[in-house]
Structure 1
Amino acid sequence: MATTDPADEIDVDVAVVGAGPAGLSAALVLARARRSVLVVDSNRPRNAATLASHGFLTRDGISPLELRKLGREELAQYPQVTFTQAVVESVRRGRDRFTLAAMSRTGAVQGRARIVVIATGLTEVLPELPTLRAFYGTSIHSCIECDAYEKRDEPLALIGESADLAERAVLLTQWTDDLIVFTNGSSAVTADEEDQLAKRGVRVERRPLADVEGDRSGLTGIRLADGEVVPRSGAFVRPVWVPAIDYAHPLKLKRDDAGLLVVDSEGRTNLPGVFAVGDSTPPGPQQLIVAAGAGAKAGSAINRMLLGLDNPALR
């Protein structure tokens, strides 16, 4: 795998924007199909604060950063893959190529590609609690399927203001029978949902929150605005997720009501030649192994497209 000089303009078969599991998997499949690939990544992953990721077969418990590192190392054996650490500022459609403009620490990077894969995922806006970030990734998490097992049988909190909060609470009851849902003064949980949660032993706390509390051992409680502290040893939050795809605005790609890129089963967007995989596609945040699978599937579809095998006359 090569690295780029900022003065270079790289011309490749496929440009992959984002080097998480989805983007790296797509790049690996394409490299093994002998395609030239440019991978551009800002090295600002959403899960950087998470110490361990789970549910990835053979890699259960690995650090997400280590998983990315291993993926990079595997791609390094393929000379037709070029990697650059840079922030993509725009992707535009030309006559026969897409053009990418990116900025690295040392200068501008320009790329041209027949196909573009968008794999930059999401940014997340967490509840505005001053100390939450200090415990995020250790005592406080956002992915229930990823991290609830490690919090099993503990007194847990679920914090959020979204309409799916009650549904997520029901999901959490698989791992604990001591759960309190904190709506932070919002109406995220309806009266009927509260009744249904109560039947499962889940309490809903509607008072506004002030902060979370803890020490070196981890989270110890949730502090309400009136000063009361509710003891909890772990928590899950429901962030607001925002697709990190402003650079793709010139392509006018179709989005759903949540702003996610609409794709088919193989990652094709509404614009021929542009694929999207991972968290920036419905349903949004995904387990790493699911994102990796989507990237691999798109990689295979892209290779067939470049061969012309998406043309019915060639089948």
Structure 2
Amino acid sequence: MDEKVVESTGGRGVPQVLDVVVVGGGPAGLSGAVALARSLRSVVVVDAGRPRNAAADGAHNYLSRDGVPPRELLALGRRELAGYGGTVLDGEVVAASRLPGDGPERFEVVLADGRVLRSRALLVTAGARDELPDVPGLREQWGRGVVHCPYCHGWEVRGRAIAVLATSPLSFHQTLVWRQLSDDVTVVLHGAEPSPEQWEQFAARGVAVVDGPAAGLRVQDGALTGVRLAGGHVVPARALAVASRPVVRAGFLAGLGLQPVDVEVMGHVVGTALPAGPAGATDVPGLRVAGNVTDPVAQVGSSAAAGVTAGAALNADLIAEDTARAVAARRARDSSPAAVFAPRSEAAVAARVLGARAHGLRA
């Protein structure tokens, strides 16, 4: 076997095509892989080791695992997958293509180091990366003093002075969610202007609004203490809420004709995603997607659930394919002269009739 080709092997050491290659080893990918491995499918997960929430201290809203460090959660998932016979390869997928012919080999996946995987199906859960506004210091405080999701980080900053960087009208809707968590919320206008209705809402809820733009952050001993405005004024803040722009990692799918599309909310582009139907179905037969690669706002729990759903759907697809092949093979056997004209003995026919009658069936 070519050393660069990674394949599963049958019980007798005969190379065989993998059932599923999973691209991305986050909550969606590992959950989907576990569902497939529990269904006795041969599964390999390829993980580039860049979890979107790596900067966060803990993952939240995931029942029984609330607050678990992101990498610890993934390590637990890897161990679970290994227990069911699945494999994780550390590496990055750089290309995916469809193989010619009608055989079970449908996809070929190439890794950056030259390794090649062949499979019947693909589950893409490669996630997304967050693009941030061009304000000095945001990236360094990302996941700590700079946060983006009130459901992911809200409890941890409750009651503190929270600033909201208003980069679009969506920021104003999110401001009211942050106001639920603190009485001290200040909106810093950074390219967006509230509507008259929103001005009234902020006044009624005690939300302060200041003209920006933001020019940087004030940090002391590694902790955020304020937002510095272009005019020099500093808005005191222990947390800065920023809407990121999620951009999916999907360039390797170009060879399959699958391209990301813009995601719009209230007429504003908020990121990109791979279009998908129920259970992560795509326009490419045999390829399903789950997690942030198709739903940029999905949290850990919803990503994991989507991975299980897509994995189960792929298993059903493969079962249908296996069954169709088995039926075709049976028909081919039954249509052969030996099958059509093979006589049955009278004893065999009588036994069949008696057995059917005993079970209340027709012979």
Q: Partner amino acid for 1:27?
A: A
**3-state SS of 1:52 partner:** coil
1:134: Cα distance to partner?
Answer: 3.0
| 3-state SS of paired residue (1:235) | strand
Paired residue for 1:8? 5
Task: Report the AA paired with residue 58 of structure 1.
Answer: S
Normalised by the length of structure 1, the TM-score is 0.89
Give the conservation status (yes or no) of the 8 Å contact 1:180–1:203: yes
The equivalent of 1:219 in structure 2 is 224
Q: One-letter code of the match for 2:137?
A: T
Q: Which amino acid aligns with 2:287?
A: V
Matches within 5 A, 1:293-308: 293-308=305-320
Counterpart residue number, 1:287? 299
Unaligned stretches of 5+ residues in structure 2? 8-16, 264-271, 328-363
Task: Give a deviation string over 1:109-141, Cα, whole Å, max 9, x none.
Answer: 111111111101111111222222332222221
CA distance in 1, matches of 2:43, 2:3: 17
Q: Which consecutive segments of 4 or more residues in structure 1 shift more than 4 A?
A: 309-312
The higher radius of gyration belongs to: 2
Query: Secondary structure of 2:111's match?
Result: strand
Please say which of residues 39-48 and 5-14 is displaced more in the overlay.
5-14
Note if contact 2:4-2:115 (Cα within 8 Å) is conserved in structure 1.
Answer: yes
Kindly indicate whether structure 1 or structure 2 has the higher relative contact order, using CA contacts under 8 Å at least 6 residues apart: 1
8 Å Cα contact 2:248/2:260 also seen in 1: no
Residue 183 of structure 1 deviates from its aligned partner by 2.9
Deviation, structure 1 residue 187: 2.3
CA distance in 2, matches of 1:6, 1:198: 67
Aligned-pair CA distance for 1:70: 0.7
List per-residue Cα deviations over 1:126-178 (Å, max 9, x = no partner).
12222223322222211211110111111101124133111111221221121
CA distance in 2 between partners of 1:164 and 1:17 (Å) = 32
Number of matched pairs: 303
Q: Deviations over 1:265-286 (max 9, x none)?
A: 311112211101001113x122
Contact 2:250 2:260 in 1 (8 A): no
- Tell me the amino acid that sits aligned with residue 296 of structure 1: V
The amino acid across from 1:280 in the alignment is V
Report deviation, 1:188.
5.4
* Equivalent-residue separation in structure 1 for 2:48 and 2:168 (angstroms): 29
| Worse-superposed segment, 15-24 or 168-177 | 168-177
* 2: CA distance, partners of 1:86 / 1:278: 19
From 279, 285, 291, the equivalent of 1:266 is 279
Where 2:187 maps in the other structure, the secondary structure is strand
1:68 aligns with 2:65: no
Taking a change above 3 Å as real, the CA distance of residues 309 and 91 of structure 1, as seen in their structure-2 partners, is: closer
Which residue of structure 2 aligns with residue 99 of structure 1?
A: 108
Cα distance change, pair 217–82 in 1 and its aligned pair in 2 (3 A)? closer
Counterpart CA distance in 2 for 1:189 and 1:22 is: 36
CA RMSD of aligned residues (A): 2.2
Q: Would you say 1:152 and 2:158 are equivalent positions?
A: yes
Runs of 5+ unmatched residues, structure 1: none
Post-superposition Cα deviations, 1:7-59, rounded to whole Å, max 9, x if no partner, equal 23333111100000000000000000000111111001121111111111111
**1:163 and 1:189 in contact (8 A); partners too:** yes
2:248 aligned partner, one-letter code = P
- The sequence identity of aligned pairs, in percent, is 36
Distance 2:251 2:313 in 1: 25
Describe the SS at the equivalent of 1:112.
Answer: strand
Query: Deviation at 1:196?
Result: 2.9
After TM superposition, the score normalised by the length of structure 2 is: 0.78
